[in-house]
Structure 1
């Protein structure tokens, strides 16, 4: 019989539904490697270093946003380096970004040092993207990060709830070892870059409880840092959108100019080749005046066409230089801040990486002071 059964029938069958939930892994996304070559290669590679450095933070935030949308993870945080505490780490490199095409390479490691994958993702922006009013305020590169997030979720499906719980326990012990190696090293086995959890302190172990409290404060600090990254990203958003649009147009113009120069160069080379072939086909002792003139004129014609192709190449180079100018004023610097933990304060200054290092040292100083009891006089 179709349709819902009456309640008595359901009671008889005693249907039991078992739902398995997995703990969410905390994700650390260090600011991307901007993918900058040796300085002398910037112009040759068509790379604008200041813009790439700004993109390094922007791309990390884009990936964070797409991962959060999946609702498959715990906290997802952008950090200045890979030394923050999390369950998995996504290391990104910018391989290409010119407004028209974007390519990134990602490596994912868990807290044990195991690499889940190493993979590149790319996207070509549709020519009409910026002309569609529905895309106003959208980032033209977002599809590449959406694809990457979906792939990461696929890899996550291979891990059971038990394996994920084990990773989270390892994270807790490794964080503790960062403050008290002598206490927590007994639970870890290290082999090169690989770390294995071989034991676990009891849940009420005072040292574990203490480091967990410190970790909560550490996470709050990094959460606050997210706001600073987002503020920086908001400042560059409008200018970056303009750059993407103008860059796509200029890259296309440069491509068209390059194709034009190739065509003209080929025609010029053919004209010169024909002139040489015509001259070579005659014996050294039997040049005709007409053929000499034809050969010379062909050579001159080829020379003029090749000159035009050089002008077109200069035009293409101008497009690259114009884009380079657009990125020279973009860089990231965090404002100084005073932070407090357990009635102690410290002023953090410099960029995000420097402030994070100062913060961690501040936490270690507090831990060391509490670990040494006052002497009774």
Structure 2
């Protein structure tokens, strides 16, 4: 797997493109006018590993709240603007590090000039975001619908407007709810430009469906070396998007964050509540950033051997659990109710040893 070398740009202190890692983004679903709730969600996203957060800026009241939000945010912020160039200018004045705006939708040439001048002065990149559901009417007619070719042409139109003004700190996204059309659109655009690409499957759905569609679509693109930033779009708490994003990157060997939890599928030999135990272990480790492998197995006979590569693991049987490291038994735990607390103690000891080395 070889990543395409794209141009390098910066969103605040976060490098994008070039040799930088694939960055994980999300978007707040709070009312931007509510500073307290928006900052709280940004902090939760940042704690989960989100590196850039996008905020909707639908009106002047939302724009007026941006400075206070920016002051308290631990990560760079991007303003999501539609149609009103004044809101883009206000976002840059408030110190936001980037814009998501399509220059062809914000008015006449003078308004585009004003936004580009302000973005240059602020050192803020612009993401052009093409959505298959809102393409220009002439392109829909020319291409017979929101085809990948139509999406790429729309993106290139907006790119040309910025390039005409000497602006090249550009990132591009081409999103639809169709996995296959999204893949095709990004493949075409990747052949035509060397700007960083922000990848995602829009309107992907609820937690399970959205995670599956995103994993398939983004996984294919990333394996082809396409994608510099990504968002997993879920109809769910945005914090869940971050976990899915990192699991996609981990599966492809691109990035790791936090423990990898492996667990066996249940079968007729399972004599403990394996599903509940695995879920509780995952939840208990959600805030841990260290990279290591944890196994939760349902068979004391085969579990340690099947998960011998795990740094630490537990295998449960009827009224008995075995805690092991790298396949070697550390100790036994009696009583199903003791499995989780004793295993977490062992994990804490394991992490303390690693941190002290």
What is the TM-score normalised by the length of structure 2? 0.23
Q: Which structure has greater helix proportion?
A: 1
Normalising by structure 1, we get a TM-score of 0.22
**Larger-Rg structure:** 1
Larger RCO: Structure 1 or Structure 2 (Cα < 8 Å, ≥ 6 residues apart)?
1
